[in-house]
Structure 1
Amino acid sequence: MYVGLDMGGTHTDAVLIAGGRVKRYCKTPTAPEDYLHTVTRALDEVLEDIATGEVRRLNLSTTVCTNAIVTGRTSPVGMLLEPGPGLNPAGLTCGAKNFILSGAIDHRGRPTSSLVATEIEAADKELRKAAIRHLAIVGKFSTRNPEHELQIKEALSPDYDFITLGHRLSGRLNYPRRVFSAYLNSAVASVYEAFAAAIKTYASSRQLPVEPDILKADGGTLSLAASRSLPVETILSGPSASIMGALALAPSSRDTIILDIGGTTTDIAFLADGVPLFEPLGITLAGYPTLIRALYSYSLGLGGDSCLRVRDGRLSIGPERLGPALALGGPAPTPTDALITMGRLDLGDKGAARRGLEQLGDQLGLTTGEVAAAIIKQMATEIASQTRALLEGINSRPVYTVREVLEDKKLRPEQVIVIGAPAPLLAAELEAAFGLPVVAPSLAGVANAIGAALSQPTTEITLQADTEQGFLTIPEEGIREKVQRGFNLEAARRRALAALQDRLRRLAPAAASAELEVVEEQSFNMVSGFYTTGKNIRVKVQVKPRVSPLEGDEHDV
């Protein structure tokens, strides 16, 4: 049996899948001040009378890190940066305290300037005085040689709560993105730890036989234990769960638009020939570009609980969410009230919903029924308009998917898959707005929990070898080891795949037999004068992304 849980800011959904079918599901309010209570309530409902020994997978997705960043509920972070020569670090000082340290390592991993112990001691003293408990240490070329980052950490006081080392986040070279990734990783550590502790407590109290896994932004999963040191990987796990859920509920081999309509936002994503689009450089969140691998998605501030107003004689929907619908005791009319008034949704105080829309109608010169219909039509039109704008941007550059780069591909969507609780209620208006067939699968309201339950582990590593220097590095694993001058691309490929297999066994033991693939490999001769002095070799390998379908065998995404 597979169990999936999706914790959003408003609701938490849980599903139980057995024999390739959803057997149980539930939706419960999220209590941000008490994650354990929320998790217990949701999981106990779907696991009632189920022998815990039958549970083979417990996967979770959550927006707790994303929400913490967007709302500013993060921990202050001390940044210790070693940018080296040739880079102005002024734009990288994102922490509550920032220290630019002397010392440098060049692009081939060679130390060219030593650290200054007194600078580190002074930074340590100031950080402790400011009571900053979370740090990030990032050197420009630490992926080629992490020794300075490690030395800085060793020189600090041992009692900090959380320290991120930049070289452990990604093997890719992009110093600004690595700085911001490390900052966010430390900033969300406390809020994520509260969520992870709740999950761990529940799993232990119920004696579940599996280690819980958490969904990442790239649509794969990571063990809960490993995620506690890499919480930044869970940013945007909610949108990735919606994409994976849509793939499971409505598999497609065509260019497709995916809409996840929630209470506050509508998440927009795309499939190219049935494969999710991918952010090639990494996601940007709250203005911070990062190295975090992610499925492509865009959040539009338009949802079922968006506030409705009349401004300058025109109807305005969102982006603010002031609370639930009037019918549920909220402070302002929402699209949910329009659906209730139209008779499409049997929920709450119908009189309150109708009275709120009557007031809007009076301002617009429309009857209550006319304003309700206008709200839903405008909501669909605005979603379609934003989707077309996104498509135009996507088609102006190479299309990246989780499998490959499609240089000449132009997305031409043939259908729209819509999920989220309001999905089937908006299908007709969305079909008219897009001019495309709309698929609103059954169980659309718990698609994110289904996507979480069916997702499987993914991870990647990058091997960089310099045979002239006689070293290779795998920064994600903290590996730096000697190689012989005869080390070549084939040997690098074997070493990278072996390291990835070891990483997978540690991060997701249940998926140790997953298929691995080489996604990038390069080998260049290094020449001095008229002689070849060595080779510069780079190999990137990953676990092939997969999702378990609701019926039948596993299939690639």
Structure 2
Amino acid sequence: MTTTGHPRKPLRIGIDVGGTHTDAVALDTDDRILAHTKQPTSPDITAGVRAAVDAVLELLGPDDARNVRQVMLGTTHATNAVVERRNLARVAVIRIGRRITSAVPPLTAWPADLRDAAVAGTVMVDGGYLVDGHQVAPVDRDEVRRFLHQVAGRAQAVAVTGAFAPMYPDQEHLVAELVRAELGAGTPVSLSHELGSLSLLERENATTLNAALGRVGAQVADALDQALREHGLDVAGYLAQSDGTLMEAAHARRFPVLTIGSGPSNSLRGAALLTGHQDAIVIDVGGTTTDLGVLVDGFARESAAGSLIGGVTTSLAMPDVLSLGYGGGTVIHPDRVGPESVGHAIRRHGLVFGGATPTLTDAAVHAGRSTTGTRSRLLDRPTEPFRRAITAFDDDLAHAVALVSHGRRDQPVVAVGGGADLLPDTVAGRTVERPGHGGVANAAGAAIALISGEYETLIPAGPGRGEALARARTEALARARTEALTRAAAAGAAPEHTTIVRIREVPLSYAGQPAVRVTVKAAGRLRTGPPLPRRP
């Protein structure tokens, strides 16, 4: 826990809540790390966040603490909830469009244990649209009401997905009104058109997960709000999203599924800040897993395939990350390594800390890679399990680097995370770079994350004359770019530092009137100066 340099104002704080540690850093306007800390993650996350903020503010001192203007938090809390099947709300799932979507019922590919933990019931009702805007059928209101009566008392949230709802959302809004009329105005409702792309099944999966994660989103947002209030920080809090941008904490309460994947994105962004590399392979070693990702132009390379979350495929934008079941707390058994981990309790259970459980950290100390703990506590232990564990780790790591590199040999390898010293000096023939402050790279990445605005529209693609179509397309794209920039500025981005970062086009050539669905995303640095007003 240290502080460096002299603060420049205004300041911002980045926080990362991992499975083992909660890290926090304070940065100035030149992205210099002025103070940083690493605290144990608490089971309720609130105590860990509070301790991390408290430690950083103490290091800054009371005068400079008053100059904090923004606080950003990234967390794996939502990911862990899905993977571990815990703290999930039970969701009533309504699909609109039975006549055209019944070939594959809702949540067909979900793992049975996740369905048992998160689903109160599913139904397909009449309704839906075709891609050209033709309404297949009106919503069967009576059928919706009957289903809601069946799940009343069991369902804690509702997920609504309609065929082609991202383009034609009115039927989803109608069902949401029925839900609130039948189950109560306070019933959380997730609507698919606010979350996903045109793909029905992946969008339905993401919407259902979002509804199931409502309590988790509230818990994370509450933890951040409580930490800010207790320290008298009158600033708006932000949470990191999986694409490396930020959303206000109030937004995260509605869309907690968007925080999944934020940890790896923050790690890669932090590595870019600490090393200056814009293209690199980044290895983040935590207490439970080792995650490999790739920096492309300073941002995490996005997965080209649908993201898999807890065994469920979604269409959410996610970083392309390869996870290995090795971390500092990974338990070494007589005949195998892991997958169990002592996680945040490593300082209680690890051998070098006086515990009784052999871990990968102990193996790294035994191999001379790490100086943590007390090496003499390993002297009376058999050496073969340690050697076998290190060999297995190194072999799997080299294979993973080869996979994520896609054949390139010119990318540097950067090691970050609290367990970066577990890595050898070279991996797959590449020298491993360990930057200063690499142990808090995730928190640094959260602190420099951008805030974004997104706009979607349909652009006609015919019929018509070429010049007229080209002019209409140019004008429509210009309007979409302007709207995306406006939305980013409204969310808190500094207009002079905001640019278009992504334009996606989905041809709808088989519609009655050929069109292209365009999504434009703008992102920029948060405004400095007076804090944004808190939302009630």
**What TM-score do the two structures reach when normalised by structure 1?**
0.80
Provide, for residues 504-527 of structure 1, a one-character-per-residue CA deviation record: whole Å limited to 9, x for no partner.
244345568511256245788899
Change (3 A) 1:547 1:326: farther
1:20 equivalent in structure 2: 31
Instruction: Report the CA distance between 1:7 and its aligned residue.
Output: 0.5
* 3-state SS in 2 of match to 1:153: helix
Structure 2 residues without counterparts, runs of 5 or longer: 1-10, 109-114, 464-468, 528-536
Residues 268, 295 of structure 2: 8 Å contact kept? no
Residues 83, 89 of structure 1: 8 Å contact kept? no
1:252 equivalent in structure 2: 277
Matched, 1:178 2:241: no
**What TM-score do the two structures reach when normalised by structure 2?**
0.83
The letter for the 1-side match of 2:392 is: Q
From 33, 38, 41, give the equivalent of 2:51: 41
1:67 equivalent in structure 2: 80
More off after superposition, 514-523 vs 197-206: 514-523
Distance (whole Å) between structure 2 residues aligned to residue 467 and residue 341 of structure 1: 65
Residues 269, 445 of structure 2: 8 Å contact kept? yes
Provide, for residues 234-266 of structure 1, a one-character-per-residue CA deviation record: whole Å limited to 9, x for no partner.
001111111111111112245x32100111100
From 163, 169, 173, give the equivalent of 2:189: 163
Structure 1 residues without counterparts, runs of 5 or longer: 365-370, 396-409, 470-484, 529-533, 549-557
1:475 equivalent in structure 2: none
2:390 equivalent in structure 1: 376
2:401 equivalent in structure 1: 387
Distance (whole Å) between structure 1 residues aligned to residue 448 and residue 210 of structure 2: 26
1:96 equivalent in structure 2: 120
2:5 equivalent in structure 1: none
From 286, 295, 298, give the equivalent of 2:319: 295
Residues 14, 26 of structure 2: 8 Å contact kept? yes
Instruction: Report the CA distance between 1:103 and its aligned residue.
Output: 1.5
The letter for the 2-side match of 1:113 is: A
The letter for the 2-side match of 1:489 is: R
2:530 equivalent in structure 1: none
Change (3 A) 1:317 1:221: same
Change (3 A) 1:499 1:526: same
Matched, 1:448 2:442: yes
2:480 equivalent in structure 1: 496
Residues 160, 190 of structure 2: 8 Å contact kept? yes
Distance (whole Å) between structure 2 residues aligned to residue 242 and residue 25 of structure 1: 15
From 302, 308, 314, give the equivalent of 1:284: 308
2:268 equivalent in structure 1: 243
Number of equivalences: 490
Residues 494, 526 of structure 2: 8 Å contact kept? no
The letter for the 1-side match of 2:432 is: V
Distance (whole Å) between structure 2 residues aligned to residue 347 and residue 524 of structure 1: 58
Change (3 A) 1:330 1:85: farther
Distance (whole Å) between structure 1 residues aligned to residue 509 and residue 90 of structure 2: 45
Change (3 A) 1:338 1:92: closer
1:32 equivalent in structure 2: 43
Instruction: Report the CA distance between 1:427 and its aligned residue.
Output: 3.8
The letter for the 2-side match of 1:90 is: P
Residues 102, 114 of structure 1: 8 Å contact kept? yes
Change (3 A) 1:335 1:284: same
Residues 451, 493 of structure 2: 8 Å contact kept? no
From 204, 219, 222, give the equivalent of 2:247: 222
Distance (whole Å) between structure 2 residues aligned to residue 441 and residue 105 of structure 1: 53
4+ long deviations beyond 6 Å? 522-528, 545-548
Residues 106, 122 of structure 2: 8 Å contact kept? no
* 3-state SS in 1 of match to 2:326: coil
Distance (whole Å) between structure 1 residues aligned to residue 502 and residue 210 of structure 2: 27
Residues 19, 287 of structure 2: 8 Å contact kept? no
Instruction: Report the CA distance between 1:347 and its aligned residue.
Output: 4.2
Distance (whole Å) between structure 1 residues aligned to residue 439 and residue 502 of structure 2: 37
2:466 equivalent in structure 1: none
Residues 108, 466 of structure 1: 8 Å contact kept? no
Residues 322, 400 of structure 2: 8 Å contact kept? no
Aligned sequence identity (%) = 28
Matched, 1:56 2:69: yes
Provide, for residues 92-147 of structure 1, a one-character-per-residue CA deviation record: whole Å limited to 9, x for no partner.
355331011112211122322111121111111112132x1111000011112111
Residues 169, 182 of structure 1: 8 Å contact kept? yes
Residues 459, 473 of structure 2: 8 Å contact kept? no
1:339 equivalent in structure 2: 364
Residues 84, 140 of structure 1: 8 Å contact kept? no
Change (3 A) 1:302 1:286: same
From 457, 461, 464, give the equivalent of 2:455: 461
Residues 125, 139 of structure 2: 8 Å contact kept? yes
Distance (whole Å) between structure 2 residues aligned to residue 125 and residue 522 of structure 1: 39
Change (3 A) 1:204 1:226: same
Residues 109, 142 of structure 1: 8 Å contact kept? no
Task: Please tell me the root mean square deviation across aligned C-alpha atoms, in Å.
Answer: 3.0
Residues 503, 520 of structure 2: 8 Å contact kept? yes
* 3-state SS in 1 of match to 2:455: strand
